[in-house]
């Protein structure tokens, strides 16, 4: 592929609109509005001939949390039922341990643990047991960056190369064109999961950044979607350059402490220092085997570095739902949670996605879906014996997080089960296998591919993203 890629007329227009709006967005919190939706920016793997219907109709901005018309939860929504389902999942160690948080109308309806932390040294999971969040961490990266934008320390359209002058790609013009918003919405221009396999081989993040010129590009920055972990973590360098705080310090000081996420931490040292934390588990014969977490993806703190408990996730969902404007003002949340780029491949995933999703997009660290005609803000994640998902249904002011310490996909069916009950859709059996997670690993004990040009995926044997 040629390094200098032509820019289609339609994407030139979208990018011009984007760059025209971003300066105003960056001036003050009050001026922050959602970035324009770009349905033309589909990844090479996700290109589809049918039009992508925007989740936010037309060019209207995403409503602020305070402006959303709130609807009551449908009749029959019973948290006790979902807690019983979670308990059933850990019965007989179908999964070793699980934590779930459900919030509604600014209140925590449930934040509990189920099962055990470690099959070899069993302790009960409770509301303060810490799990590894994997790609759920990306929402924290988008949020802390947005806080700096609100302060005027940088702009969404700031060039990443201004903070990292040595940054280069195969396209000689790409580094100068790549913006902060491009990084957070996976529009760097690289192919999906560039250099993930090398991270699994214990490659150093900074070494891989220096090798970006050898990585094939699918498009120019801002013009297509390609899910990243290494390139997404460039935002950590931007945060440091803009704030003078190391990324981990910035997240802890600006998010964890003010929100009262008292169990939350970053990195391998953070989770192992927790008073109670859940060990990751992989299948072993007819049961489970616990492991020590690998440090590999913890080296990509913005992409996969956060650890948190059910109690923490309840506070995170409340804040992202607009109930902590002292920390996360409504205009910032509207910007973060608005779709920018289409991701239609997600509609063709597991049963609940195929049947419930009408459109899918990515914002700034958040996925945004049309779930049976209802806007859903979402992210999932999986890495070496940990899985999790979180979602918010703004019109019902409902937030859900489910974390578990195994590579089973079974608990993922809890999410559509709860959503259907909240909306009032007919009951359907969703508690089946769902492999549509942001998987960050190949497989336990698998040989990592040799360092290459960055085309290797970090997913296990054709596991879809």
> At CA 29, angle to CA 24 and CA 33, rounded to 5?
55
Is 438's pLDDT higher than 50? yes
In this structure, what are the phi and psi dihedrals at residue 25, rounded to the nearest 5 degrees? Answer: -60, -35
Q: Which two tokens stand for residue 56?
A: 């936010």
CA-based max dimension of the chain: 60
DSSP string, 31-89: T--PPPPBTT---TTT--SSPPPPSS-TTPPPPPGGGSPP-PPPTT--HHHHHHHHHHH
> What is the average pLDDT score of the chain?
84
Percentage of the chain lying above the pLDDT 70 cut: 79
CA dihedral 283, 284, 289, 291 (to 10 degrees): -70
246-250 average pLDDT score: 98
- pLDDT at 439 (0 to 100): 58
Q: Which residue has the higher pLDDT, 337 or 47?
A: 337
Q: What is the CATH number of domain 27-153+262-450+458-465?
A: 3.40.710.10
- pLDDT at 22 (0 to 100): 40
Distance CA 274, CA 300 (A): 20
- In 10 A of CB 68, how many CB atoms? 18
CA dihedral 6, 42, 361, 205 (to 10 degrees): -70
Q: Where are the domains of the chain?
A: 27-153+262-450+458-465
* Least confident residue range of 12-21, 99-108, 219-228: 12-21
Residues sharing a CB contact under 8 Å with residue 1, sequence separation 6 or more, in sequence order: 216, 217, 218
- pLDDT at 293 (0 to 100): 97
Is 459's pLDDT higher than 90? no
The answer to whether 233 and 205 have CB atoms below 8 angstroms apart is yes
Percentage of the chain lying above the pLDDT 90 cut: 74
pLDDT tens digits for 28-42?
Answer: 333 343 455 554 444
Is 441's pLDDT higher than 60? no
228-254 average pLDDT score: 98
């Amino acid at each position: 592929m040629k390094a200098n890629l032509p820019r289609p007329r339609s994407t030139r227009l979208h990018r011009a609109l984007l760059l025209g709006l971003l300066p105003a967005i960056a001036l003050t919190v009050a001026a922050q509005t959602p970035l324009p939706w770009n349905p033309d920016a589909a990844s090479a793997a996700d290109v589809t001939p049918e039009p992508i219907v925007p989740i936010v109709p037309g060019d209207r901005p995403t409503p602020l949390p305070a402006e959303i018309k709130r609807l009551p939860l449908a009749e029959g929504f019973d948290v006790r039922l979902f807690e019983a389902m979670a308990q059933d999942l850990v019965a007989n160690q179908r999964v070793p341990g699980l934590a779930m948080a459900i919030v509604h109308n600014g209140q925590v309806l449930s934040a509990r643990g189920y099962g055990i932390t470690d099959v070899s040294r069993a302790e009960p999971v409770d509301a303060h047991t810490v799990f590894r969040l994997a790609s759920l961490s990306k929402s924290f990266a988008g949020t802390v960056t947005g806080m700096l934008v609100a302060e005027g320390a940088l702009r969404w359209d700031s060039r990443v190369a201004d903070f990292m002058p040595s940054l280069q790609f195969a396209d000689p013009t790409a580094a100068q064109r790549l913006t902060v918003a491009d990084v957070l919405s996976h529009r760097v221009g690289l192919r999906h999961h560039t250099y993930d396999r090398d991270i699994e081989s214990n490659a150093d993040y900074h070494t891989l950044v220096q090798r970006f010129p050898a990585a094939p590009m699918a498009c120019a920055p801002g013009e297509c979607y390609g899910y990243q972990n290494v390139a997404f973590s460039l935002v950590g360098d931007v945060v440091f350059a803009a704030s003078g705080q190391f990324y981990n310090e910035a997240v802890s000081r600006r998010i964890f402490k003010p929100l009262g996420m008292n169990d939350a931490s970053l990195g391998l040292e953070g989770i192992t220092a927790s008073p109670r934390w859940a060990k990751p588990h992989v299948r072993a014969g007819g049961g489970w085997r616990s492991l020590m977490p690998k440090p590999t993806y913890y080296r990509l703190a913005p992409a996969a570095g956060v650890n948190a408990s059910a109690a923490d996730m309840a506070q995170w969902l409340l804040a992202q739902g607009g109930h902590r404007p002292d920390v996360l003002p409504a205009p910032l949340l509207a910007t973060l949670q608005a779709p920018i780029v289409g991701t239609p491949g997600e509609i063709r995933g597991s049963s609940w996605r195929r049947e419930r999703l009408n459109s899918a997009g990515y914002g700034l660290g958040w996925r945004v879906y049309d779930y049976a005609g209802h806007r859903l803000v979402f992210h999932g994640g999986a890495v070496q014996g940990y899985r999790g998902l979180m979602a918010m249904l703004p019109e019902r002011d409902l937030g859900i997080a489910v974390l578990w310490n195994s590579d089973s996909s079974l608990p993922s069916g809890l999410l559509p089960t709860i959503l259907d009950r909240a909306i009032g859709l007919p009951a359907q059996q969703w508690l089946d296998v769902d492999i549509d997670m942001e998987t960050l690993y190949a497989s336990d004990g698998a040989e990592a591919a040799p360092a290459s040009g960055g085309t290797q995926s970090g997913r296990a044997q054709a596991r879809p993203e």
